Chain A
């Protein structure tokens, strides 16, 4: 099975509302990466977190890595229609990268 569980599976928001997706693991993660996939497209790398408690920001996106390195979150402030897509977290499992099941975000204009 997958190493990380991602919630929620789906979220529908009004444009301007905030959005958060969470990744949780039962084991300590060496790092966590976040990807965005637009409908019909391929996943595109957003960011990597490595340190315990790390917080990184990209404009309206805020990424956090938990103190115990077992969970992570992606928060989008004031969503826009361009934020539509599926957001995946991914973590290292052995020598390969495994992905969470993703959170699909719909933004109502």
Chain B
């Protein structure tokens, strides 16, 4: 049972480049999330999807877009990367939003130069 799988694990981008972070879960969870983690800032919610076909903005959505492709997959896209988006990105999922255990992927380390 793989749980939550994220790719890529590491990526270096130049300012202005675009890229997509992929996430898939095999636990049949309804809700999926993208968080970013910066030193001393904890985890901040970028976007979430409460169910297939729906997406909602979190605390820090600017500069990002998401797609809930199907129940399993939730991707995060940076259209024009900026140095301020250098961070560790975590995908996560739960059965239902908020009240149940949230399972995290291993993280994606992104550096924008």
- Interface on A for B, CB 8 Å cutoff? 2, 6, 9, 30-31, 33, 41-45, 48, 88, 90, 92-102
Binds A, one of B67-75, B78-86, B97-105: B97-105
Which residue of the partner chain, among B48, B98, B102, B106, contacts A45 with CB atoms under 8 Å? B102
Residue of B nearest to A31 (CB): B99
What separation, in Å, do the CA atoms of A105 and B31 have in the docked complex? Answer: 30
Which residue of the partner chain, among B40, B48, B103, contacts A95 with CB atoms under 8 Å? B48
Chain B residues whose C-beta falls within 8 Å of the C-beta of A101 in the assembled complex:
40-42
What separation, in Å, do the CA atoms of A3 and B106 have in the docked complex? Answer: 25
Residue of B nearest to A99 (CB): B43
What separation, in Å, do the CA atoms of A44 and B99 have in the docked complex? Answer: 15
Which residue of the partner chain, among A30, A48, A99, contacts B101 with CB atoms under 8 Å? A48
Q: Are B98 and A97 in contact (CB under 8 A)?
A: yes
Chain B residues within 8 Å of chain A by Cβ, number: 26
User: In the complex, which of the residues A43, A90, A93 has the most CB atoms of chain B within 10 Å of its own CB atom?
Assistant: A43
User: In the complex, which of the residues B41, B102, B103, B107 has the most CB atoms of chain A within 10 Å of its own CB atom?
Assistant: B102
Q: Are B59 and A98 in contact (CB under 8 A)?
A: yes
Residue of A nearest to B106 (CB): A42
Chain B residues whose C-beta falls within 8 Å of the C-beta of A98 in the assembled complex:
45, 59
Q: Are B104 and A43 in contact (CB under 8 A)?
A: yes
Chain B residues whose C-beta falls within 8 Å of the C-beta of A9 in the assembled complex:
40
Q: Does B23 contact A (CB under 8 A)?
A: no
Q: Are B42 and A102 in contact (CB under 8 A)?
A: yes
Residue of A nearest to B43 (CB): A99
Q: Are A43 and B43 in contact (CB under 8 A)?
A: yes
What separation, in Å, do the CA atoms of A41 and B66 have in the docked complex? Answer: 24
What separation, in Å, do the CA atoms of A41 and B103 have in the docked complex? Answer: 13
